Amino acid sequence: MYKSIGVKPYLMPMPVLIIGTYNEDGTSNAMNAAYGSMRDSRTVSLYVQAKRKTIANILWTKAFTIHLANGENRQEADFVGCVSGNRVADKVEQTGWSATKSEDVEAPVFASFPLVMACTLLSYDPEDGHLVGEVQNVLVEETLLDSYGHLHVDEMALLTYNPAEKCYNIVGDRVGEAFATGLNNEDQEESDDNDSSRSTEEERRQALIRNRPERVARVQRMERVMNELASLQAELNQALDHFESFKEQSDAFDAYYSSRDWMDDYEASSLGIIPEEIDQGVLTEDLPYDVLCENDELGRRMRDLARKLLLR
Ligand SMILES: Cc1cc2nc3c(=O)[nH]c(=O)nc-3n(C[C@H](O)[C@H](O)[C@H](O)COP(=O)(O)O)c2cc1C
């Protein structure tokens, strides 16, 4: 049974995002932001109040970094969320975070975060505090990547802000595969063993590696077949273009063969009126007939081929 509790900012879990920016004097600033998310696959959308030092910084550098906090930087993350760079100039220094310049944007990258996004400013509305940034690059702590370059988010221990209880929580276990669990009707049990789904993935990889030579040969063979098919299609299309554009002349030849003109030319040829040195296959009985019949044969063949192609 539901109980109504009024308007609350409870779209949970909320992330703990540490926004890094440069002050005018080149030192770094950081703030904690929980009102943030991806707007689409390459833009971020945040709510940051206009009075924040962070906003003044972003408006002149046109850039910022977003650090996903984890359990290890919880205390400092909270500190930069309580103290403003407007009042405390050495705020970042006090956290102990070491900062280097991002290679992608004009903003600092703080060490010891699992993941950092380098963003450029797309828009900021001081009226409603809506900040939109475009992601230019993402940096991840390399120990979170396996040998295949896959990111293991469950090892990040990401920190989330819990607005209902004004506290922090850590993101929990992996419990199922997205875009698959529902479709396969998978009944994935909640598991506190984070390694189980990864080992399944590894087993699958190993199974696929087992037949590698045959697999590679098959891919190569199919690649050749695909390319040959494409070039045959191009040739056939070219021939059909030619054939179709010849239709008018072909019809004229068909009409000639059954015309009075043909009979007169045939007679003239037999009387030696047509010079012997020119080819006169068209005035024989069989050759024109065979060529015209071949049109019917081709029509039937194309019809049968079309049926096969379309029934695929
Ligand atoms: C958990 C937490 C979440 C916060 N989320 C936001 C937020 O989404 N937007 C915002 O404007 N301020 C937020 N704040 C407040 C700022 O982090 C705080 O005012 C900070 O001192 C601003 O720093 P600056 O003035 O140096 O930019 C949050 C603070 C905390 C502790």
Other residues' Cβ atoms within 10 Å of the Cβ of residue 202: 13
Kindly report the protein residue whose alpha carbon is nearest to atom 21 of ligand 1: 84
Whether the CB of 20 sits within 6 Å of ligand 1: no
Using the mean position of ligand 1's atoms as its centre, give its distance from the Cα of residue 168 in Å: 14
pLDDT digits (tens, 9 = 90+) for 270-288: 999 999 999 999 999 899 9
Task: Reply yes or no on whether the pLDDT at 180 is more than 80.
Answer: no
pLDDT digits (tens, 9 = 90+) for 128-149: 999 999 999 999 999 998 877 8
- What average pLDDT does this structure show over 82-108? 97
Kindly report the protein residue whose alpha carbon is nearest to atom 4 of ligand 1: 33
Q: How confident is residue 193, by pLDDT bands cut at 50, 70 and 90?
A: low
Best residue among 11, 44, 46, 52 to mutate for probing ligand 1's pocket (most ligand atoms within 8 Å of CB) is: 52
Task: Reply yes or no on whether the pLDDT at 173 is more than 80.
Answer: yes
Whether the CB of 57 sits within 6 Å of ligand 1: no
Of the candidates 161, 196, 158, 204, the residue with the CA atom closest to the CA atom of residue 175: 196
Q: How many CA atoms lie within 13 A of 213 on its CB side?
A: 0
Of the candidates 186, 52, 206, the residue with the CA atom closest to the CA atom of residue 131: 52
Kindly report the protein residue whose alpha carbon is nearest to atom 30 of ligand 1: 81
- How far is Cα 33 from Cα 107, in angstroms, rounded to an integer? 16
- How far is Cα 273 from Cα 276, in angstroms, rounded to an integer? 8
Which ligand 1 atom lies nearest to the CA of residue 129? 11
- What average pLDDT does this structure show over 53-70? 98
Other residues' Cβ atoms within 10 Å of the Cβ of residue 158: 20
**68 versus 145: which is more confidently predicted?**
68
Which pLDDT belongs to residue 104? Answer: 98
Using the mean position of ligand 1's atoms as its centre, give its distance from the Cα of residue 74 in Å: 14
Using the mean position of ligand 1's atoms as its centre, give its distance from the Cα of residue 16 in Å: 10
Kindly report the protein residue whose alpha carbon is nearest to atom 20 of ligand 1: 81
* Residue 42, token pair as written in the block: 């390459």
Q: How confident is residue 312, by pLDDT bands cut at 50, 70 and 90?
A: low
Task: Reply yes or no on whether the pLDDT at 184 is more than 70.
Answer: no
Find residue 108's DSSP bridge partners. Answer: 101
- How far is Cα 163 from Cα 180, in angstroms, rounded to an integer? 31
**250 versus 193: which is more confidently predicted?**
250
Using the mean position of ligand 1's atoms as its centre, give its distance from the Cα of residue 85 in Å: 11
Whether the CB of 55 sits within 6 Å of ligand 1: no
- What average pLDDT does this structure show over 139-167? 91
Task: Reply yes or no on whether the pLDDT at 226 is more than 90.
Answer: yes
Task: Reply yes or no on whether the pLDDT at 311 is more than 80.
Answer: no
Sign of the torsion formed by the C-alpha atoms of 217, 219, 222 and 228: negative
Task: Reply yes or no on whether the pLDDT at 94 is more than 60.
Answer: yes
Using the mean position of ligand 1's atoms as its centre, give its distance from the Cα of residue 142 in Å: 28
CB 101 within 8 A of CB 109: yes
Which pLDDT belongs to residue 64? Answer: 98
